[in-house]
């Protein structure tokens, strides 16, 4: 049961979720590069090795495919591993393990073996790092049947979603926005509460336009929605995503703007647009708009702010469809 | 200052049973006559299975199949050393391992005919579903061994792969982590000299594959992979070591792929007949037969009985496999997650 709450940032909220789940279930273990002694490069697992020991908070060699591959073996054996990939740009080395194995073990064995595994990884722009430290590759994983993709946008939802992810019987990719790690603090209760996977939340109700975002882009979208009669949806889980909440909202507003950091082409916004076009076209008053990163690699920090959707670009898109 | 040698490695090779069927008694593992007979019968059974599988593929009754012809001793010898509680991570060329641990043979035909239900491992066996992409299951064995150690189970994991698998990144990553954490795992490579059309010397410039283990801080040993006693002994010792905290071992079984890579391959395009002929003399079944003959454990009559029994078992397995009713199209969706997503529920209406 949830207990006292404290003002926490997202790093602290995720740390709390990990700690509580590890206290609850001895099968939950954490593995990854620098997660133990150092507490992770973002300090997400700070203090956990001291509390749970090096057997459970495991500093691994520098091998992303090996980390995910070993975590698969652990999960199938009966543990509940939480693997950390230090930055999303380094998960590409482990995509083979995720796509060829983690996502298929249940299906390949017709349910005889399962792979309850969480892969946490920091994603997105915002901390001005070197190349490949600001990737937003969520759509890759949404295209993989058998993998769930979760992107929290606040400390409170991060804790509840991570607890659900750890308890989920299937593999979950859990994306943590580096920009949001320490940006906002909010009340986060101690003790157990979960936020179900596959459900979106309406952050702001409105009647004129629906704005859909997740992770770091939610906050910029909320700023752009200020003063407007806009409904803002925080998708939270991208795969499987909450079609019902989206349909209910767009049928009411007839207008939709989707905002994400990743490149436009085949980004997750494409899936959302297609879904809305297929099933809610007749309710639409205006074309579906996407405000996204560009079809180019994420630049180094000097140009980063030109790549990621800005307040102005989101606002402009809203104004555009409000003309209809 | 003069340069010093700070590390040198030695690689051992184990041979017990030679091509004439003579065994080195000083190295011979303790095996009762019944156990040796059981090994022989499993060798025959797996070869009969293999021949049937090839025929069934040619008749269009199963799909692409990866034959084990020539590698039976590496598979049966190692599998006979396993405890029932050990975890096995197979590649796609492991029919002999499956047969040796008592996996229902009809399910193997079912799988190779294209039905996933053939991989629903019976509850009392711990064999992972067949891994098609080469070498990618090696880290899984490492992870399972980690979990066994973490839980305090006296269980070891074993991963089976081939010479091609040793070139993969996951070979390195799986070995590396197993060495660092000194995990209870055995890595068994059947070096069958060919990865489809690429010969062993194109896989690695390393003189032996076994020596690769040294770089990960554990022992590698090469054994005659057509010598069932050497394979059995090396595997048994490695498992014993693993269960007692001694960490991983890499066993290179030096053997030969007598057949094509798979039924979709034609090995005559890239390798010489003389090479295959030379390996025929090293046949793993022939030499155990010669050994048993010398020990008066083998007669023509016994051979006929074993072959007949194997054929009956395999024929019956084919009948069983082919009489299983087809799986439901809805199974395509049903095992993606524990529960269907709402979109999948809609897609399910197509079936």
The predicted-structure confidence for B71-88, as pLDDT tens digits, reads as follows 999 999 999 999 999 999
Count of beta carbons in the 10 Å neighbourhood of residue B216: 20
Beta-carbon contacts of residue B259 (< 8 Å; ≥ 6 apart): B50, B54, B67, B69, B70, B267
At A83 the pLDDT is: 98
Q: Which of A22, A60, A64, A73 to mutate to test the interface with B (most CBs of B within 10 A)?
A: A73
Contacts of B89 in chain A (CB under 8 A): 73
Q: Cβ of B144 and A74 within 8 Å?
A: yes
Contacts of B336 in chain A (CB under 8 A): 106-107, 145-146
Beta-carbon contacts of residue A42 (< 8 Å; ≥ 6 apart): A11, A122, A176, A178, A181
Residues of chain B with pLDDT under 50: none
Q: Cβ of A66 and B170 within 8 Å?
A: yes
Q: Cβ of A65 and B116 within 8 Å?
A: no
Ordered by start, the domain boundaries in chain B are 12-348
- CA dihedral for B199, B201, B207, B211, sign (positive or negative): negative
B335 contact A CB<8A = yes
* The pTM of the whole model exceeds 0.95: yes
At A1 the pLDDT is: 61
Domains present along chain A, CATH in parentheses: 5-189 (3.40.50.970), 201-322 (3.40.50.920)
Residues of chain A with pLDDT under 70: 1
Q: Distance between CA B180 and CA A56 in Å, rounded?
A: 15
Q: How far is B297 from chain A (nearest CA, A)?
A: 41
Q: Which of B117, B147, B216 to mutate to test the interface with A (most CBs of A within 10 A)?
A: B147
B21 contact A CB<8A = no
Contacts of B180 in chain A (CB under 8 A): 60-61
Query: Residue A241 in contact with residue A198, Cβ under 8 Å?
Result: yes
Q: Which of A31, A36, A66 to mutate to test the interface with B (most CBs of B within 10 A)?
A: A66
ipTM reported for the complex, 2 dp: 0.97
At B268 the pLDDT is: 93
- CA dihedral for B23, B29, B34, B37, sign (positive or negative): negative
Is A133 designated active site?
A: yes
CB pairs under 8 A between A and B: 140
Q: Cβ of A65 and B142 within 8 Å?
A: no
Fold classification of B12-348 is Rossmann fold (3.40.50)
**Nearest residue on chain B to A62, alpha-carbon basis:** B173
Chain A interface residues facing chain B, Cβ-Cβ under 8 Å?
A: 29, 55-56, 60-61, 63, 65-66, 68-79, 81, 93, 96-97, 100-101, 105-114, 145-146, 148, 169-170, 198, 240, 243-244
The residues with which A20 forms a beta bridge, in sequence order, are: none
Considering CB atoms only, which of B119, B172, B337 is closest to A110? Answer: B119
- CA dihedral for A258, A260, A265, A270, sign (positive or negative): negative
Question: pLDDT digit string (tens) for A156-191?
Answer: 999 999 999 999 999 999 999 999 999 999 999 999
At A3 the pLDDT is: 76
Q: Distance between CA B324 and CA B307 in Å, rounded?
A: 26
């Amino acid at each position: 049961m949830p207990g006292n709450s404290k003002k926490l940032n997202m790093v602290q909220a995720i740390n709390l979720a990990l700690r509580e789940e590890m206290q609850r279930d001895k099968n939950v273990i954490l593995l990854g590069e620098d997660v133990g002694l150092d507490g992770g490069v973002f300090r997400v697992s700070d203090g956990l090795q001291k509390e749970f020991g090096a057997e459970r908070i495991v500093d691994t060699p520098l091998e992303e495919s090996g980390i995910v591959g070993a975590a698969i073996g652990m999960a199938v054996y009966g543990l509940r591993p939480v693997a950390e990939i230090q930055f999303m740009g380094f998960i590409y080395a482990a995509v083979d393990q995720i796509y060829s194995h983690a996502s298929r073990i249940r299906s390949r064995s017709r349910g005889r073996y399962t792979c309850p595994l969480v892969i946490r990884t920091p994603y997105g722009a915002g901390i001005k790092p070197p190349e490949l430290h600001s990737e937003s590759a969520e759509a890759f994983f949404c295209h993989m049947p058998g993998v769930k993709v979760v992107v929290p946008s606040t400390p409170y939802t991060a804790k509840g979603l991570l607890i659900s992810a750890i308890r989920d019987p299937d593999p979950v990719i859990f994306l943590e926005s580096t920009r949001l790690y320490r940006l906002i603090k909010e009340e986060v209760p101690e003790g157990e509460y979960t936020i179900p996977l596959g459900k979106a939340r309406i952050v702001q109700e409105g009647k004129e336009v629906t704005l859909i975002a997740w992770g770091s882009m939610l906050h910029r979208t909320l700023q752009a929605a200020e003063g407007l009669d806009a409904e803002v949806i925080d998708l939270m889980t991208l795969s499987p995503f909450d079609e019902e909440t989206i349909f209910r909202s767009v049928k009411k507003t007839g207008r939709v703007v989707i905002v994400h950091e990743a490149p436009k082409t085949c980004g997750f916004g494409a899936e959302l647009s297609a879904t809305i076009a297929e099933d809610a076209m007749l309710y639409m008053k205006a074309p579906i708009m996407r405000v996204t990163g560009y079809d180019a690699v994420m630049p180094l920090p000097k140009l980063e702010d030109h790549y990621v959707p800005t307040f102005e670009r989101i606002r402009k898109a809203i104004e555009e469809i409000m003309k209809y | 200052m003069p340069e010093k040698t700070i590390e040198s490695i030695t690689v051992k090779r184990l041979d017990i049973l030679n091509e004439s069927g003579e065994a080195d008694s000083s190295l011979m593992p303790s095996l009762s006559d019944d156990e040796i007979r059981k090994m022989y019968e499993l060798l025959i059974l797996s070869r009969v299975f293999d021949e049937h599988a090839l025929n069934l593929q040619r008749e269009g009754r199963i799909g692409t199949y990866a034959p084990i012809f020539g590698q039976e001793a590496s598979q049966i010898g190692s599998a006979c050393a396993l405890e029932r509680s050990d975890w096995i991570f197979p590649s796609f060329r492991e029919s002999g391992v499956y047969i040796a641990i008592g996996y229902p043979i009809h399910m193997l035909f079912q799988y190779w005919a294209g039905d996933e239900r053939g991989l629903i491992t019976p509850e009392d066996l711990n064999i992972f579903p067949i891994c098609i992409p080469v070498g990618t299951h090696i880290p899984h064995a490492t992870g399972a061994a980690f979990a066994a150690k973490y839980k305090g189970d006296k269980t070891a994991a074993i991963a089976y792969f081939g010479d091609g698998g040793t070139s993969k990144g996951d070979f390195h990553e799986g070995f590396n982590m197993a060495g660092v954490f000194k995990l209870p795992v055995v890595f068994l490579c059947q070096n069958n000299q060919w990865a489809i059309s690429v010969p062993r010397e194109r896989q690695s410039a390393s003189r032996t594959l076994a020596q690769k283990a040294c770089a990960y801080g554990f022992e590698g040993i090469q054994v005659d992979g057509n010598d069932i006693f050497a394979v059995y002994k090396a595997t048994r010792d490695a498992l014993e070591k693993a269960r007692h905290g001694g960490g991983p071992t890499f066993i290179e079984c030096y053997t030969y792929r007598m057949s094509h890579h798979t039924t979709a391959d034609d090995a005559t395009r890239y390798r010489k007949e003389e090479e295959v002929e030379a390996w025929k003399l090293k046949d793993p079944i022939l030499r155990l037969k010669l050994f048993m003959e010398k020990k008066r454990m083998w007669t023509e009559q016994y051979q006929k009985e074993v072959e007949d029994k194997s054929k009956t078992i395999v024929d019956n397995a084919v009948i069983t496999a082919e009489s299983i009713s087809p799986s439901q199209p809805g199974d395509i969706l049903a095992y993606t997650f524990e529960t269907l997503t709402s979109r999948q529920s809609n897609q399910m209406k197509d079936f």
